[in-house]
């Protein structure tokens, strides 16, 4: 027997389903595969979405984002036996399927491969696709994990092949679970290892550059958006300048919005905006909800190609920038710096973002950043100083008048 446990959102409770699974939310998909004795043998939690670039009958190209897993089922997911390895099989939408295969060695197990299939004959998703039929992309992942360890990768990972980009984050998985008990010991992916060792900028941790960076002009402001089945769910307008220190050399990169592609996803408590271009492998902004009534920038993941041919990558999932109430947008017209690490910062210009509760594709009322608020403090401070001077003048006048009057009374 195969059973699954689904937790759509935190605090919503657990539902135990066997053989047939009902509605699934992609925000926090958690499943337990159990064996004939009802012991857990395979555990997985995965957040994901997919973008597909396809050719139309007009010889143009379109991109669609797949992020709705509300019709998901898991027929074919198995624990594995002497003849077959464990695997997760997910079916959703009109002809979409996703499979993860696992293999085992003496002291380790591997996420051996991931495959994703889609049907361009689906007239709703691909109404004008030139080529019709079921297409499949396969990626040999090869993550090797110690037996009885949970694999964790909160950072965003991407797989790209044949016009399909698979986005994964908040991944927790363990195959070959021992004695029916999911392990609490975690084996981290490389991105998460990087993000846990990120330190703030201090003079002792930032290398002194041996080559001065070429001064850059203010970057062009770009507009970005993310759509889901309900319409526009994320808006962002900003000029972006990347500051990278690698091998004691500082590089400054202005992002050109005209040559930058973007995608993302929107979930009830998290949202993702991902940018990429010829020299930016990925630049991901991950937003989260806190205290049920505010949002903020929680995570940045980046991988860029430098002029010397090397690749610089870093992640930090413990940020706290761009804080504003839900139902509003965050705005900062002045230059602002997001410090991701001692070696990587992002300068933003004319920033405005709203990752949640976008109505009719338009920004809601903005909360200004503290930098903008300073502009209001200057006239207030000047006014207060002038008022103080006026009070002192009046006090001096009345004291002088009183003394002058007292002098007359003595005669």
**Tokens coding 7:** 């937790």
Q: What are the extents of the domains in the chain?
A: 29-192, 221-368
Using alpha carbons, select from 172, 7, 183, 199 the residue that is nearest to residue 88: 172
Q: How many CA atoms lie within 13 A of 19 on its CB side?
A: 2
User: 315: how many CB neighbours lie within 10 A of its CB?
Assistant: 27
CB 149 within 8 A of CB 163: no
Query: What does the chain come to in residues?
Result: 411
pLDDT at 129: 92
Q: Both tokens of residue 402?
A: 């009183």
In words, the CATH class of domain 221-368 is mainly beta
Angle at 262 between CA 61 and CA 72, to 5 degrees: 80
**Helical segments of 259-369, H only:** none
**411 residues of the chain, pLDDT tens digit each:** 444 443 333 333 333 333 323 323 333 367 888 888 889 999 998 888 888 888 889 888 888 888 777 788 888 899 988 788 999 999 988 889 999 999 998 899 999 999 999 999 998 889 999 999 999 999 988 889 999 999 988 777 888 888 888 888 888 999 999 899 999 999 998 877 754 333 333 333 333 343 445 446 899 999 999 998 889 999 999 999 999 998 888 999 999 999 999 999 898 889 999 998 888 988 999 999 999 999 999 999 898 888 877 888 888 888 999 999 999 999 999 999 999 999 999 999 999 999 999 999 999 999 998 744 544 445 556 666 677 777 887 777 777 766 655 555 544
Q: Report the run of H or E that residue 404 belongs to, with start and end.
A: helix 370-409
Structure pTM? 0.50
Burial of residue 233 (CB within 10 Å: 0-12, 13-18, 19+) is buried
- Residue 240's φ and ψ, nearest 5 degrees, are -125, 130
The upper half-sphere exposure of residue 335, i.e. CA atoms within 13 Å in the direction of its Cβ, equals 9
Q: Among 66, 133, 145, 143, which Cα is nearest to 98's?
A: 66
| Contact (Cβ atoms closer than 8 angstroms) between residue 305 and residue 281 | yes
Asked if 353 and 329 touch (Cβ cutoff 8 Å), the reply is yes
Q: Which pLDDT belongs to residue 323?
A: 95
SS3 content of the chain, % helix, strand, coil (to 5): 15, 50, 35
Cβ contacts of 236 within 8 Å, gap of 6 or more: 223, 224, 225, 273, 285, 352, 353, 354, 355
Topology match between the domains 29-192 and 221-368: yes
Q: Is 197 left (phi over 0), alpha (psi -120 to 50) or beta?
A: alpha
- Write down the pLDDT at residue 37: 87
| Cβ neighbour number for residue 259 with a 10 Å cutoff | 10
Q: Which CATH number fits domain 29-192: 3.40.1180.10, 1.10.340.30, 3.30.70.100, 2.40.160.110?
A: 2.40.160.110
């Amino acid at each position: 027997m195969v059973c699954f446990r689904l937790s759509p959102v935190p605090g919503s409770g657990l539902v135990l389903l066997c053989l047939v699974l009902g509605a699934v939310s992609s925000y926090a998909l958690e499943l337990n595969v159990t064996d004939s004795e009802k012991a857990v043998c395979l555990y997985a939690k995965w957040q994901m979405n997919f973008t597909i670039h396809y050719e139309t009958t007009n010889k143009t190209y379109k991109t669609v984002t797949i992020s709705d897993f509300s019709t998901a089922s898991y027929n074919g997911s198995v624990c594995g036996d002497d003849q077959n390895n464990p695997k997760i099989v997910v079916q959703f939408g009109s002809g979409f399927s996703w499979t993860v295969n696992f293999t085992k060695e003496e002291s380790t197990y591997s996420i051996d491969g991931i495959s994703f299939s889609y049907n361009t004959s689906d007239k709703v998703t691909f109404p004008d696709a030139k080529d019709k039929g079921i297409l499949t992309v396969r990626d040999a992942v090869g993550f090797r994990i110690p037996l009885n360890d949970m694999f964790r990768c909160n950072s965003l990972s991407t797989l790209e092949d044949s016009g399909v980009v698979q986005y994964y984050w908040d991944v927790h998985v363990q195959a070959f679970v021992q004695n029916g008990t999911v392990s609490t010991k975690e084996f981290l992916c490389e991105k998460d290892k990087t993000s846990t060792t990120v330190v703030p900028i201090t003079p002792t941790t930032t290398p002194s550059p041996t080559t001065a960076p070429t001064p850059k002009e203010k970057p062009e402001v770009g507009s970005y958006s993310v759509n889901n089945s309900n319409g526009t769910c994320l808006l962002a307008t900003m000029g972006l300048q990347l500051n990278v220190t690698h091998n004691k050399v500082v590089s400054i990169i202005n992002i050109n919005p005209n040559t930058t592609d973007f995608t993302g996803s929107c979930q009830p408590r998290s949202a993702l905006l991902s940018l990429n271009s010829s020299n930016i492998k990925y630049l991901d902004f991950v937003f989260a909800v806190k205290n049920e009534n505010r949002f903020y920038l929680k995570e940045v993941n980046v991988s860029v190609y430098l002029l010397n041919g090397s690749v610089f990558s870093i992640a930090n999932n413990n940020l706290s920038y761009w804080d504003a109430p839900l139902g509003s947008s965050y705005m900062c017209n002045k230059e602002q710096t997001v410090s991701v690490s001692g070696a990587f910062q992002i300068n933003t210009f004319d920033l405005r973002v709203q990752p949640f509760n976008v109505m009719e594709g338009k920004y809601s009322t903005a909360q200004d950043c503290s930098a903008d608020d300073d502009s209001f403090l200057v006239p207030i401070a000047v006014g207060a100083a002038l008022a103080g001077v006026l009070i002192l003048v009046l006090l001096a006048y009345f004291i002088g008048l009183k003394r002058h009057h007292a002098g007359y009374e003595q005669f």
